[in-house]
Amino acid sequence: MNAAKTTSKDFLLAVEGLTVSFDGFKAVDDLSFYLDPKEIRVIIGPNGAGKTTVLDLICGKTKATSGSIKFAGKELTRLKEHQIVHSGVGRKFQTPSVFEDLTVFENLEVSYPQGHSVMGALAFKRDAAVIEAVEAVADTIFLSDALDQPAALLSHGQKQWLEIGMLLIQKPDLLMLDEPVAGMSVAERQKTAELLRRITKDHTVLVIEHDMQFVGDIADRVTVMHQGKVLSEGSIEHVKSDPKVIEVYLGH
């Protein structure tokens, strides 16, 4: 969306010197990277490289030991999770986390960016605008026909889409997706890639993914992480041919 380009360098997201340690173990170590508006960035790296932790840090789930995360000019490290969401960051978890007891419609409705305070939630009414927004998003995520189904009955892939839909309806500037195609069938995978391409028309997206085929399909740029640090960054071809990356992935 109309990203407020107020940061000095016009980055939507600027992560600088980010460090977090758990009992002395540095899961993320002096990490810096920058996202342009409307960019699709994929983070790859071996297990334990700290990819998920980076997302946790940006969305506030984990508090940074040091460093800064500037989003559209706002310092995120000092905000609470819901404030970070309100400033335009949406995050999808690795395992699909949707509200299984609620229907698809209600899942999306709960995520609709209105009535987020206690009193707001008490006063919230399902008006035409809400229904319209829900239906629009449902269309995007291929779930128009399943609106009245409880989310528990969806397939694994559909749940992933629903969760993405729950982010979309919040109209965030930055979408963070943790392994969106993990555990999906080939057909679902293709559909998801299509979905992501649709989404990226007007969102900045930060994705963690293992599937290099999929990464190649969607990424503008790729950041390779290793042991909490950036190992390499650039286009997919660039990182694929980077000797350091080859060393890490194939060397041992």
Partner 1 sequence: MFDGYTTSELMSIFAMQGFAGLSLFSVFVLMALGLAIIFGQMGVINMAHGEFMILGAYTTYLTSGFFQSYLPSLFGGYFFIAMILAFLICAALGALIEWLMIRHLYHRPLDTLLATWGLSLIMQQAYRSIFGAREVGVDLPDWMMGAFQVTDLVELPINGLFVMIIALSIALGVYLLMYRSTWGKKVRAVVQNRPMAEAVGINSAGVDRMTFALGCGIAGIAGAAFTMIGSTGPSSGQAYIVDTFLVVVFGGAQSLIGTIVSAFGISQAQSTMEFFLSGSMAKVLTLLVVVGILMLRPEGLMALKVRR
Partner 2 sequence: MKSSSPLKWFASREGLYYLALALLLVVILPLALDPFRLNMVGKYLTYAFVAIGLVMCWGKAGILSLGQGVFFGLGGYCMAMFLKLEASTPEATAIQSTPGIPDFMDWNQLTALPWFWEPFHSLSFTLIAIIAVPVILAFVIGFAMFTRRVGGVYFAIITQAIAAILTILIIGQQGYTGGVNGITDLKTLAGWDIRTDAAKTTLYFVCVGMLFLCLFAARFVQNRKLGRILVAMNAQENRVRFSGYDVAAFKIFVFCLAAAFAGIGGALFTLIVGFMSPSFIGIVASIEMVIFCALGGRLSILGAVYGALLVNAAKSGFSESFPELWPFAMGALFIGVVLAFPNGLAGLYQSYVMPLEERLFKRKPKTEAAAPAPQKPVEKKDEGRDYDPMLDQYSPEKS
Contact residues: partner 2, CB under 8 A = 59, 61, 80-82, 85-86, 90-91, 93, 97-103, 105-106, 109-111, 113, 115-118, 121-124, 126, 131, 147-150, 152-153, 163, 166, 170
Q: Report what 23 binds from partner 2, partner 1, none; CB cut-off 5-8 Å by kind.
A: partner 1
In whole angstroms, how close is the CB of 155 to partner 1 at the nearest point? 23
Q: How far is the CB of 22 from partner 1 (least distance, A)?
A: 6
Distance CA 244, CA 145 (A): 47
Q: Which does 111 bind (CB under 5 to 8 A by kind): partner 1, partner 2, none?
A: partner 2
Q: What's the closest the beta carbon of residue 59 comes to partner 2, in angstroms?
A: 6
Number of CB atoms found within 10 A of residue 33's CB? 19
Number of residues lying near partner 1 (CB under 8 A) = 5
Look up tokens 């060393």; give the residue.
247
Q: Which of 221, 219, 129, 215 is nearest to 169 (CA)?
A: 129
CB of 80 to partner 1, least distance (A): 16
Where does residue 21 fall: left (phi above 0), alpha (psi -120 to 50 degrees), or beta otherwise?
A: beta
Least distance (Å) between residue 248 CB and partner 1: 22
One of 19, 62, 87, 190 touching partner 1 (CB under 8 A): 62
Residue 49 contacts partner 1 per CB under 8 A: no
CB closer to partner 2 out of 172 and 248: 172
Q: Which does 27 bind (CB under 5 to 8 A by kind): partner 2, partner 1, none?
A: partner 1
CA distance 1 to 111: 18
Site track 17-46 with partner 1 (rule: CB under 8 A), x = hit: -----xx---x-------------------
Q: How far apart are CA 167 and CA 108, in angstroms?
A: 9
Rounded Cα distance between 161 and 140, Å, is 9
CB of 53 to partner 1, least distance (A): 7
Could you give the CA distance from residue 166 to residue 169 in angstroms, rounded to a whole number? 6
Those residues with Cβ within 8 angstroms of residue 95's Cβ, 6 or more apart along the chain or in another chain = none
- Which of the choices partner 2, partner 1, none does residue 90 contact, using the CB cut-off of 5 to 8 A by kind? partner 2
Kindly list the residues in this chain that would bind partner 1 in the complex (CB under 8 A): 22-23, 27, 53, 62
